[in-house]
Amino acid sequence: MELLAGLFGLVFGSFLNVCIYRLPVGKSIVWPPSHCPICGKKLKWHDLIPVLSFVLLRGQCRFCKSRISIMYPVVEILSAAGAYLSFKVFGLTLEAVLLYLFYIVLLYIGAVDVRTKEISTISIILLGILKIGFVAVQTLSEGKHMSISGMVFVLSGGILNSAFVALIWLLSKGKAMGFGDVLLLIAGGFGFDWKEMVVCNLLSFAVGALWSVVYLIKHGCGKSSFKSEIPFAPFICFALFITTIWGKWLADLYINLVWRG
């Protein structure tokens, strides 16, 4: 089942690429058909096979030989991986469907932030709705009920999850972190308990720090635009997805290894 889900994710990733490149600039995702953004030539069906076409074309347009962004196959592969993991962990359930949709919005937000350094409000709202839906379905599947106090807990988890980054945003006046990062942590953090909040924040900063080191090694330390060159949203998106699946397990593993020897 998960292999079929992964195959579907690979194909859906191709459509997601269309959304990533067109929606932020107000273009239709239906028309015109897929075409080279440089020469404008309409792409044929065999130019649109996920990942494989990129490899066979050696990352170049068939017509004008302009370079095709590596983001296209990366998004397709990540979409497939997200679908595989979602259905591997939860099986053929509504939880798996909601988790994958949640992941797709995270992938969209991260990819758009890399390209434009912006996070749209609509994508944040959609992310929050999907996360609340996922938490609600998961709660009901465990035989529990969603009470008013339970909803307060779900919403407070998102708000508290953003506290540290919100503080950085305030103290730096938006120079170190963007307000979109704060909203992203809120929407994606709905339903987190304190352990998951810690895991999410530590993981996002750890992965971000590791990527920054790689960036500095490759480009040097003299970049005045260092902050703008490395958007933080992709690291938050990664941490939110991993924490949603394995947050409690990672927290318990860390406690057992570090605090209990």
Provide the pLDDT for residue 47: 80
Between CA 100 and CA 79 the distance in angstroms is 9
Number of domains within the chain: 2
Q: At what angle do helices 71-90 and 2-22 cross, to 10 degrees?
A: 140
Between CA 235 and CA 207 the distance in angstroms is 6
Q: At 98, phi and psi to the nearest 5? A: -65, -40
Task: For 210-246, write each residue's pLDDT tens digit.
Answer: 988 888 887 766 554 555 567 899 999 999 999 999 9
* Shared-domain flag, residues 123 and 223: yes
As beta bridge partners, residue 67 has 60
Single residue among 91, 106, 136 that ends a domain in this structure: 91
| 133 close to 37: Cβ distance less than 8 angstroms | no
Q: At 193, phi and psi to the nearest 5? A: -90, 180
* Shared-domain flag, residues 99 and 211: yes
* Shared-domain flag, residues 254 and 128: yes
Q: Name the burial class of residue 168, with classes exposed (0-12), middle (13-18) and buried (19+) by CB atoms within 10 angstroms of its CB.
A: middle
Helix (H) or strand (E) holding 203: helix 194-219
* Shared-domain flag, residues 157 and 252: yes
pTM (two decimals): 0.91
Provide the pLDDT for residue 153: 82
Spatial CB neighbours of 65, under 8 Å, sequence gap ≥ 6 = none
Residue with tokens 């944040």: 124
CA angle 98, 118, 32 (to 5 degrees): 75
Q: Whole domain around residue 58: which residue ranges?
A: 1-91
Single residue among 43, 61, 91 that ends a domain in this structure: 91
* Shared-domain flag, residues 18 and 2: yes
* Shared-domain flag, residues 123 and 204: yes
* Shared-domain flag, residues 147 and 43: no
* Shared-domain flag, residues 218 and 242: yes
* Shared-domain flag, residues 21 and 69: yes
What is residue 60's three-state secondary structure? Answer: strand
Provide the pLDDT for residue 260: 63
Provide the pLDDT for residue 58: 85
Provide the pLDDT for residue 207: 95
pLDDT per residue as tens, the chain (261 positions): 789 999 999 999 999 999 999 999 888 888 888 887 778 778 887 888 889 988 988 888 888 888 988 999 999 999 999 999 999 999 999 999 999 999 999 999 999 999 998 899 999 999 999 999 999 999 888 777 777 777 888 889 899 999 999 999 999 888 888 899 999 999 999 999 999 999 999 999 999 999 888 888 877 665 545 555 678 999 999 999 999 999 999 988 888 887 765
Provide the pLDDT for residue 87: 95
Single residue among 42, 60, 91 that ends a domain in this structure: 91
What is residue 42's three-state secondary structure? Answer: strand
State the SS3 of 72-136: HHHHHHHHHHHHHHHHHHHCCCHHHHHHHHHHHHHHHHHHHHHHHCCCCHHHHHHHHHHHHHHHH
* Shared-domain flag, residues 28 and 118: no
* Shared-domain flag, residues 61 and 97: no
* Shared-domain flag, residues 130 and 156: yes
Q: Which of 190, 185, 88, 192 is nearest to 133 (CA)?
A: 190
